[in-house]
Amino acid sequence: MGRKLIILNERDMRHPWAGGAELHIAQTARQFVHQGYEPVLLCTRFPGSAVEDMQDGLRVRRFGNRLTYYLMMPFIVGQEARTPGAVIIEHLNKVPFCSPAYARVPVIALAHHLFGWTAFQQVPFPVAAGVLACEQMIPWVYRRRPFVAVSPSTRDDLIARGIPPQHIVVIPNGLDHDLYVPPAQPPKTPTVLVFGRLEPYKRIDMIVQAMKRVRGSVPSARLLVVGAGRGLEPLRQLAAELGLTEATTFTGFVDEAAKVRYIQQATVVVNTSEKEGWGLTVLEANACGVPTIASDVPGLRDAVLQNETGVLVPHGDLERLSTAITAVLSSDTERQRLAAGARAWALQFSWERSSKHVMDLIEATCESPRWTDVIRSLDMWQPLTDPTATPVRREAIG
């Protein structure tokens, strides 16, 4: 029997609101299982869900609703942590579980992003205030625990909140390079793609507004919005108000295979989120040979290499956003240059490599305090951004 890994996250990949954190869990758990670990995900129930099921070797245990789930967590963790040698991997991207306060096993905090004041744009005031208050507890509750940050921006946020730099290792998300591949032929219709969870803080409304200006220069340009969320209906209404209904397609939720097909139809992907932990959608598009235009904000400025894999623009600057989109749609030469850089950049990321670094940290954590000595050697970011580093392979994008 291998080491049990107790993974804490509010949702699993079958949850209707699943996103990047859930994909991270599914992909890394697959690698954990391959290496002999026994991962179990403790997540909340949703309509029609089973109490327990298996997903590619990952045991998924569901309980409670969004409120009772957090109240029940200490008891459920206590049950699962009875197994000798168990380790907790707690995903910090919603309400912190504060597992070090009640668990008697090693804990690794995996930070995607923390909301901070952006929580007030996402949820009602009392809930946002509660989230912010819980995040204030992180430096104290996790003061002797290792942190995995998915990007330098997340690392910097953790440091600003009081986490010692020597306790943080940057291990970015990976990619499935068998799934995300360039299309056989470049897109014929100039298409701007937005995909992922449609939430207010993603500020997709700015992209819809920018498209009004873009179509003044590129009349055939179309906007493709792939995904579901609380922002979907307001975006439909905005497109109608701006006279963009015929030029805009909203697909709603799609599965992974359909998502890839839509990416392969795109000329450029645009991400105007106010804040991201990493920007996994950027790299998924890059792997398909699609460059990105994004807001110059934490997370996205890590995922986008300025003028190499895409273009970063000041957040909220509609004129700069519109100009950048128009430039890529109007120049096939520029698109090809950015696409080649985007593909080469994406090829440096894999779930196998990322998971291997996490597993090394797991084993080091179990030999505490040795993890404080090896954590620096597990950091992936410096080798990735070293100009002398060689990607897995480079190829031209047509």
Domain ranges of the chain: 4-174+350-385, 191-346
Confidence (pLDDT) at 121: 57
| Residue 170 DSSP symbol | E
Q: How far apart are CA 275 and CA 119, in angstroms?
A: 11
Q: Give me the tens of pLDDT residue by residue for the chain, a chain 398 residues long.
A: 589 999 999 999 999 888 889 999 999 999 999 999 999 999 999 999 999 999 999 999 999 998 899 999 999 999 999 999 999 999 998 889 999 999 999 999 999 987 665 555 565 666 667 677 778 889 999 999 999 999 999 999 999 999 999 999 999 999 999 999 999 888 889 999 999 989 888 999 999 999 999 999 999 999 999 999 889 999 999 999 999 999 999 999 999 899 999 999 999 999 999 888 888 899 999 999 999 999 999 999 999 999 999 999 999 999 999 999 999 999 999 999 999 999 999 999 999 999 999 999 999 999 877 788 888 889 888 777 654 444 443 343 33
Closest CA to 192 of 235, 215, 223: 223
Q: How far apart are CA 200 and CA 206, in angstroms?
A: 11
Identical fold for domains 4-174+350-385 and 191-346, yes or no, is yes
Q: Give the CATH fold of the 4-174+350-385 domain.
A: Rossmann fold (3.40.50)
pTM of the entire predicted model = 0.86
Q: How far apart are CA 119 and CA 135, in angstroms?
A: 11
Closest CA to 113 of 232, 281, 314, 274: 274
What residue spans of the chain are helical by DSSP H? 20-34, 68-80, 125-136, 138-141, 152-160, 205-217, 232-241, 256-264, 280-287, 300-303, 318-330, 332-346, 351-365, 371-374, 381-385
The string of DSSP codes covering 294-317 is EESSTTHHHHS-BTTTEEEE-TT-
| 102 phi, psi to nearest 5 deg | -130, -10
Report angle CA 22, 121, 251 to the nearest 5 degrees: 55
| Residue 123 DSSP symbol | S
Query: What is the pairing mode between strands 87-92 and 58-62?
Result: unpaired
The highest-level CATH class for domain 191-346 is alpha beta
Query: Facing residues of 170 across strands?
Result: 149
| 8 Å CB contact between 228 and 196 | no
Mark 369-382 as b/e (b = at least 16 C-beta within 10 Å). eebeebbeebbbbe
Specify burial of residue 187 (Cβ count, 10 A radius: 0-12, 13-18, 19+).
Answer: middle
Query: Facing residues of 169 across strands?
Result: 148
